[in-house]
Structure 1
Amino acid sequence: MPAKDLNWGFITNQRIQQLKSQVRAKEERIVELETENAVLHLKLAEYHGIIERSNSKAMQLCCLYNQQQDLRRNTYSNLTQIYQVVQKFKQDLKDFQSFSYLLIRNFQHQYQDYLSQIVDAVQGTQLENETLQSFQARAIDLEQSLQEISERYQVEKQKRKTLHNNLVELRGNIRVHCRIRPLLPFDTESRDPALQNRSISLSEKVIHATDDETVLVRCSRPGHPLLNKTFQFERVYSPLESQKIVFGDVCPLLTSLLDGYNVCIMTYGQTGSGKSYTMLGPHSENDPISPSEAEQEMGIIPRAAGELFRLLSENPTIDPRVEVSIVEIYNNELFDLLAKDSSGIFGVKRDVITTKEGKSNVPMLTYELVESPYEFMKIINKSLQLRVKHPTLVHADSSRSHLVVTVTLTISVPFDSFTDQQAIQKLCKETLCSTPQKVMKSEKACFSPRGLSPAPIPLDPTEQHKQVQTKLQLVDLAGSECIGMSGVTGTILRETSFINRSLAALADVLGALSEHRGHIPYRNSKLTHLLQDSIGGDAKLLVMLCVSPCQKYLAETLQSLGFASRARQVQRVQAKRRNLLVSGKSK
């Protein structure tokens, strides 16, 4: 092969090699460019995504921009309105400021005026305070003076009452207490058709307690002059005063009983005026009450029983004997409620006689020995069941008889060195007048069988003892009645006639005593004959007048008040102590 061809070939090979190198370089460049292109495509896709997101955000921004533009326009509009409002408010504020300045100036003027008035008022108040302080000091002085005068008045009033009671006792006058009962349901009831339309006026209160000693009767009736009258008594109880208060004024008489005086307590008044309630308390089976209420509403008899045995139990040195008799005067006949007849029925008829000494006596009268308040009230309650009662138009549980409970008390007193009666009476007073505030639980036994008459306890002749015997009579009178108002007929009318006649006989006796007649008609009624020693004798007599406050019973109330006023004027012999008994005989 020629050299020329070899060089050409060599050159060609080299050229080919160079071209291959260039081709490889190009291919490598193409690969790089393709890689870059792929990368660029990726970036382009990424940029496309970014552009899409940007477009979406641009749309959102456009919407937001539009909203902001709307908001700006609205805000501008609102701001414009606010600006206008603010401008108006500024104008109003300016107007208000000018008005305020004017108002302040006016206020300052008024303030100055008021301040000057306040200064004047303060100065006037100071003067008034000084005057008030002087008045207060004077009022304190007057109150102290009034209190002193009131205390002196109460002391003097009590002294006057004590002196009056002493005068009543010295003169032998009958003590009269008046009790006004409260209005009750039956006061407005009437079975009389002619009175039904007037029930309201008839139930009006016309009887009043103006103080603890005065009863006022004030009533205005068509066709009658104005009635305005007062009655004076030793004690007047208003409708609000309790059984305890009433007994508080009766209680001292029990001390007198232990001091050696005979005592009689009597209730008087129209039927339905509260006599049995005052004397006994509530005892109707149709109106049950609790034990506490029953204790509060106990009458004079059960309270007197408790107080008597309490006083006796507090004096252990004495040897008491308490005997009880109970009689009923019905249709002017006397019945012994403690005695049985041959048929075993309680209520034997007895008679009243006058002894040689001029004393009344009931032969064969039964006496029961009692040793406690329980035994005492057991006998009383048993006898009350035998008492005659009938309903009337005035009172549904009207007593048709007079009830007389007699308590005979015999006390043994050691004679010791006392030789005269006055010294013995002093001993009785010192040993029996104590009034401690304890309630008696039981009573010592001093039993003796039931007898027909009270008798002193037999004594050993060698023992130096004296006996004092006194009597306590508790009388629950039947009520006076107006026959036309009570509506009674038949047998009850006859009972009413006897009741009114016996009460009239009692009034006649009091009238004869007050006029100092030579003859006192005690025997005109069994009631006055039985109570002869108490009414005209030397016993301490208390009449408890019971009246209704309503106009319906005005006539009967005036009659009762007149009776009680006449009773106060009766002058009897002075109350005397009982003589001492030696072995049952009077010394």
Structure 2
Amino acid sequence: MATASSSSSSAQPLRILLRVRPFLPSEAASSGAPCVSLVDGYPGSEVTVKLKDQYTSRSEHYNLDAFFGQENSVSEIFDREVSPLIPGIFEGTNATVFAYGATGSGKTFTMQGTEDCPGLIPLAVSTILDLARCTGTWCCVDISYYEVYMERCYDLLEPKAKEIMALEDKDGNLQLKGLCWTPVQSMEEFEELYSIGVQRRKVAHTGLNDVSSRSHAVFSVRVSTSVVKGKLNLIDLAGSEDNRRTMNQGIRLQESSKINQSLLALSNVISALNTNERKIPYRGSKLTRILQDSLGGSSCAVMIACLNPAEYQEAVNTICVAAPSRHIVSYMSSASKPETPKVKVDMEDKLRAWLESKGKTKSIQRTNGLFSPSARKTPSSMSHMKQPTFSKISTRVKAMDQDAVLPSANPCKEVKKSDSSLRRALLPISSNVNQQTSDTDNSSILLEPNTPVVTCNILEKIPAATPLDKFNALGSTLKVGMTLVYFITI
């Protein structure tokens, strides 16, 4: 799979758009002028909008990045704000577009659209598929669609209601375990899958909306090439609700409570980011965990604040959350690149080649014995020797253990008696032990397997020696003994 490797990063502030939906037929008769209007600005620059309450003449001004009035279509929003993000997806960047607002403000229409007026999701998929065909190289387009209902995530593209586990990886990034990614190659395939997901999303009738979304819906398009992976998230948030007006009861009241809690957690995150708090409460809800990468993370983000032109107080509440979000900065990291396959390196072969290049071929056999169990073979110079058997060694050790526990009235006499045979075995080499040990490489001493482990009091053989000579002789004897033990054990 891929791991994010940031080859470069650039600061990108959260872009805030304002969309005012047209009056509904039921609102046109009772409403006069819309409560929000454009005061100053032009496309591509900062705009100033005015909110005015027609009953109290109260007015407020806010600065935003773009304004789309009742006369502007969804396709205009896509061409000006969403379409410029798509080429970066093919370069390995991530982007998020999410609609925020009160219930009945036109969020779902903006993201989903209708058959005659497609929303941002079908427009984005169509553009991505067209670019994928023109790349000239291998490119795969996958989609996923899930909802956050009552603080639980469910895959909308699965036949059965399958809950998705939201987990964190070792880097603290959110991973959705069990989310299904489905490849699409044409708009026909997309429309078939998307319509299934739309039908499975939780909706219900409320006092303010005939078809009210009861969950946050997250649609993602992932573009994979042979070099990088990029992703575009298109999120339709459920709207905040005033239960005094909606008259929700039972399960609808519980749904409304969860929706309002998650949107409150979102406003708390935005407030903490604006005040540069050390700890940002991303864990306040599943929604804020999903939006963490888009709010102060590494993803380019666009927020579409949707307003009902007939509801002044709802418009104020929405813009009070949206306008301060302009100061949130994300540091986009490019190119989520696939990992280079790990090549298994045979360090033993490398070491052998290095030794041969240095002319140290005589040390290869010893090195093999240290690094590889399979390489512990008898060298050619020792092939004629009988290998020691475990039974002989264990018999010798057992006999030594039995001798060690025998009671003795005169221990010194017993030790002297047992050492007499050992002294005779060592007599040929004890006369000049210093010269033998200095002229001989300890690692080249070879013994017959049945050679007994011998010890002797070498100091008795040098009665007239000085203390220094006795010390040197004793040290040489210890070296020889350790060498014998080493070759017997291997």
- Are positions 1:581 and 2:338 aligned together? yes
Instruction: Return the alpha-carbon distance in structure 2 between the equivalents of residues 539 and 584 of structure 1.
Output: 27
Superposition TM-score, scaled by structure 1 size: 0.54
> Do the aligned residues in 2 keep the contact of 1:174 with 1:540 (CA within 8 Å)?
yes
> Could you say what secondary structure the match of 1:534 adopts?
coil
Choose from 255, 268, 278 the match for 1:518: 278
Is the contact made by 2:269 and 2:282 (CA closer than 8 Å) also made in structure 1? yes
Letter in 2 for 1:390: A
Match of 1:81 in 2: none
Please, which of 121, 127, 135 is the counterpart of residue 301 of structure 1?
Answer: 121
User: Deviation of residue 571 (structure 1)?
Assistant: 2.7
The equivalent residue for 2:325 is 567
Q: Does 1:228 align with 2:62?
A: no
Residues 178-197 of structure 1: pairs in structure 2 closer than 5 A: 178-187=18-27
CA distance in 2, matches of 1:401, 1:579: 30
Matched with 1:329 is 148
Structure 1 residue 203: deviation in Å? 5.6
- Structure 1 residue 322: Cα displacement: 1.3
- Of 175, 178, 181 in structure 1, the residue corresponding to residue 15 of structure 2 is 175
Question: 1:254 is matched by which residue type in structure 2?
Answer: I
Look up the match of 2:292.
Answer: 532
Q: Describe the SS at the equivalent of 1:263.
A: strand
- TM-score (structure 2 length as normaliser): 0.64
How many equivalent pairs are there? 328
Q: Quick one: which amino acid aligns to residue 265 of structure 2?
A: A
Q: Using the TM superposition, give the Cα deviation of residue 218 of structure 1 relative to its aligned residue in structure 2, in angstroms.
A: 1.7
Please name the residue that 1:274 is paired with.
106
| Contact 2:143–2:184 (Cα < 8 Å) also in 1 | yes
Contact kept? 2:154, 2:161, Cα under 8 Å: yes
C-alpha RMSD of matched pairs (Å): 1.9
2:198 paired residue among 367, 384, 387: 384
Q: Taking structure 1 as reference, are residues 375 and 584 closer, same or farther at Cα in structure 2, changes over 3 Å only?
A: farther
Q: 1:247 aligns with which of 78, 81, 86?
A: 78
Structure 2 counterpart of 1:14: none
Give the gaps of 5 or more residues in structure 2.
Answer: 1-8, 343-490
Structure 1 segment 60-139 matched on structure 2, within 5 A: none
User: What's the counterpart of residue 261 of structure 1?
Assistant: 93
**Partner-residue secondary structure (3-state), 2:332:** coil
State the 1:583 CA deviation: 5.2
1:316-465 equivalent positions in 2, closer than 5 A: 316=136, 318-340=137-159, 346-412=160-226
Q: Counterpart of 2:158 in structure 1: which amino acid?
A: A
| Structure having the higher Rg | 1
> Which residue of the partner structure matches residue 269 of structure 2?
509
| Number of the residue aligned with 2:407 | none
Q: Contact conserved, 1:360 with 1:531, CA < 8 A, in 2? A: no
Output the amino acid matched with 1:174.
L
Q: Report the AA paired with residue 300 of structure 1.
A: L
Distance between the aligned counterparts of 1:558 and 1:507, measured in 2?
Answer: 14
Give CA-to-partner distance per residue, 1:170-225, whole Å, 9 cap, x none.
5432111110111112326xxxxxxxxxx83x56522113354232112242xx4x
Which residue number in structure 2 is paired with residue 111 of structure 1? none
Following superposition, the deviation at residue 404 of structure 1 comes to 0.4
* Distance change (3 Å), C-alpha of 1:203 and 1:383: farther
- Output the amino acid matched with 1:215: V
State the alpha-carbon separation in 1 of the partners of residues 130 and 63 from structure 2: 34
- Matched residues in 1 for 2:297 and 2:323: separation? 19
Instruction: Say if 2:313 is the partner of 1:313.
Output: no
Alignment of 1:137-148 (within 5 A): none
Q: Deviations over 1:58-105 (max 9, x none)?
A: xxxxxxxxxxxxxxxxxxxxxxxxxxxxxxxxxxxxxxxxxxxxxxxx
For residue 253 of structure 1, report the CA deviation from its aligned partner. Answer: 0.7
Question: Where do 5+ consecutive residues of structure 1 fail to align?
Answer: 1-168, 189-198, 283-293, 341-345, 413-466
